[in-house]
Amino acid sequence: MEIDNQKYRQAVEKAAQLAYRYESKYYACSQTVLAALMETFGIGDINVLRAATTFAGGVARRGTACGSLSGGLIMLGYLTGRDDLEMIEQYQRGMKFADKLCSKFEENYGTVICKEIQKSKFGRSFDLLRLEERKELHAAMKANPEGCQAVARDAARWTAEIMVEIFLEGPPLARMLAQHQG
């Protein structure tokens, strides 16, 4: 497989910008990150996107694990996860890539927790189970272009970078991608 670094850099940036735009417009961070990655790389299907629904807002709007992180982890699991429970090596491989993404969050945000990231971005956290607080968060996002939409952008960028690493590893993923694009 010939490597075109410019092509990969453009794909990574496209995923980042799509995630930013989608989060600004649609919210639901887990899905906006995943949709950006799916569109950029032509991987996944509607069922994968649907599965990401309940991870938004820090898992079911509870402010725990960041939904943008979850969207990226879903894509990494889709690419590297095991097909059955006996595939221990594949499980370990998937976890290796998941750890890379979680570590990027911890390095850049000091946490993977949605409420803590909200505090760093907006000076407070929001109770997303309450409609009024969700509206307040959305207003805060409009006022702060480095809010949740920037977290979605970063998550998509970091996930896309890891995806490129996965693609460059070659088989068996290279065969899957060739069949998908063929």
CA distance 151 to 154: 5
Other beta carbons within 10 Å of 132: 9
Write down the pLDDT at residue 182: 45
pLDDT band at 171; cut points 50, 70, 90 = low
* pLDDT surpasses 70 at 157: yes
* pLDDT surpasses 60 at 179: no
Q: Write the pLDDT tens digit of every residue in 70-106.
A: 999 999 999 999 988 998 999 999 999 999 999 999 9
CA distance 173 to 166: 8
pLDDT band at 1; cut points 50, 70, 90 = very low
Domain borders along the chain are 5-181
User: Among 100, 30, 107, which residue's Cα sits nearest to residue 66?
Assistant: 30
User: Among 34, 58, 30, 57, which residue's Cα sits nearest to residue 46?
Assistant: 34
Q: Write the pLDDT tens digit of every residue in 100-152.
A: 999 999 999 999 999 999 999 999 999 999 999 999 999 999 999 999 999 99
Count CA atoms closer than 13 A to 99's CA, side-chain side.
Answer: 6
Instruction: Check if the beta carbon of residue 74 is closer than 8 Å to that of residue 51.
Output: yes
